Amino acid sequence: MKRVTIMGGILAFAMVAAVATAGPFGLTKMSDKSQECIECHKKESRGLYQMWGSSKHYRANVGCYECHAAEKSDPDALLHYDNTISIIVSPKDCARCHEQEVEEYLGSHHSKAARILGSLDNVLAEIVEGNSDFVTPGFPEGNSAAAVNGCWQCHGSQVKVLPGGTLDPATWPNTGIGRLNPDGSEGSCSACHSRHSFSVAQARQPENCGKCHMGPDHPQLEIYNESKHGIAYHGNKDKMNLDSPKWVVGEDYWAAPTCATCHMSATKNQPVTHDVGMRISWNNRPPVSVRPEVSDAKMGLPGKNVPWQVRRQNMNDVCLNCHNQSWIDNFYTQYDGLVDLYNEKFAKPSGQLNSLAKAAKELPVSFTHEADWAYWELWHHEGRRARHGAAMMGPDYTHWHGTYDVAKTFYTHYVPALKELIEEAHDSGDAGRIQAAEALQAKLDEVLNSDNHKWFLGKMDPEEAARRKKAAEEFKARYK
Using CB under 8 A as the binding rule, the residues of this chain from 373 to 432 that contact a second copy are 373, 386, 389-390, 393, 395-404, 406-408, 411-412
DSSP state of 401: I
Integer angstrom CA distances of residue 322 from 53, 201, 265, 318: 37, 22, 15, 8
93 and 3 in contact (C-beta within 8 Å)? yes
d(CA 155, CA 429): 44
Q: What helix, strand, coil percent values describe the chain, rounded to 5?
A: 55, 5, 40
- Within 8 A by CB and 6+ apart from 275, the residues are 104, 105, 107, 108, 303
Q: Is 202 in the site for a second copy (CB under 8 A)?
A: yes
For 388-410, letters b (16+ CB in 10 Å) and e give bbbbbbbeebbbebbbebbbebb
Which of residues 67, 69, 88, 148 is near a second copy by CB under 8 A?
148
Q: Helix, strand or coil for residue 140?
A: strand
Stretch that binds a second copy, among 3-11, 13-21, 91-99, 206-214 (CB under 8 A): 206-214
DSSP state of 281: S
Q: Is 123 in the site for a second copy (CB under 8 A)?
A: yes
Integer angstrom CA distances of residue 256 from 209, 234, 241: 16, 9, 11
Q: Is 55 in the site for a second copy (CB under 8 A)?
A: no
CB atoms < 10 A from the CB of 474, how many?
10
Q: Is 368 in the site for a second copy (CB under 8 A)?
A: yes
Q: How far is the CB of 343 from a second copy (least distance, A)?
A: 11
Taking the least distance from each CB to a second copy, the nearer of 50 and 84 is 50
Q: How far is the CB of 416 from a second copy (least distance, A)?
A: 8
d(CA 87, CA 85): 7
What is the x/- site pattern for a second copy, positions 318-357, by CB under 8 A? --xxxxx-xx-xxx-xxx-xx-xx--xx------------
Which of residues 47, 140, 245, 429 is near a second copy by CB under 8 A?
47
Touching a second copy, residues 166-185 (CB under 8 A):
166-167, 169-170, 172-173, 175
CB atoms < 10 A from the CB of 177, how many?
24
Touching a second copy, residues 290-309 (CB under 8 A):
298-299
Q: How far is the CB of 105 from a second copy (least distance, A)?
A: 19
d(CA 219, CA 384): 9
Q: Is 81 in the site for a second copy (CB under 8 A)?
A: no
* Crossing angle of helices 431-448 and 415-428, rounded to 10°: 150
Q: How far is the CB of 54 from a second copy (least distance, A)?
A: 8
277 and 292 in contact (C-beta within 8 Å)? yes
Q: Is 235 in the site for a second copy (CB under 8 A)?
A: yes
Q: How far is the CB of 90 from a second copy (least distance, A)?
A: 16
Strand pairing class (139-143; 134-136): antiparallel
Q: Is 358 in the site for a second copy (CB under 8 A)?
A: no
Q: How far is the CB of 36 from a second copy (least distance, A)?
A: 16
If you count them, how many residues does the chain have?
480
With CA atoms as reference, report the closest residue to 93 among 161, 154, 6.
6
Stretch that binds a second copy, among 23-31, 56-64, 180-188, 227-235 (CB under 8 A): 227-235
DSSP state of 26: S
Q: Helix, strand or coil for residue 143?
A: strand
Which of residues 62, 77, 116, 436 is near a second copy by CB under 8 A?
116
Taking the least distance from each CB to a second copy, the nearer of 16 and 472 is 472
Which of residues 163, 364, 429, 462 is near a second copy by CB under 8 A?
364
Q: How far is the CB of 4 from a second copy (least distance, A)?
A: 25
Which of residues 210, 426, 428, 430 is near a second copy by CB under 8 A?
210
Taking the least distance from each CB to a second copy, the nearer of 27 and 284 is 284
The DSSP annotation for 97-130 comes to T-HHHHHHHHTSGGGGTTTTTTSHHHHIIIIIS-
Taking the least distance from each CB to a second copy, the nearer of 19 and 135 is 135
Which of residues 102, 146, 315, 422 is near a second copy by CB under 8 A?
146
Touching a second copy, residues 257-276 (CB under 8 A):
268
What is the x/- site pattern for a second copy, positions 3-42, by CB under 8 A? ----------------------------------------
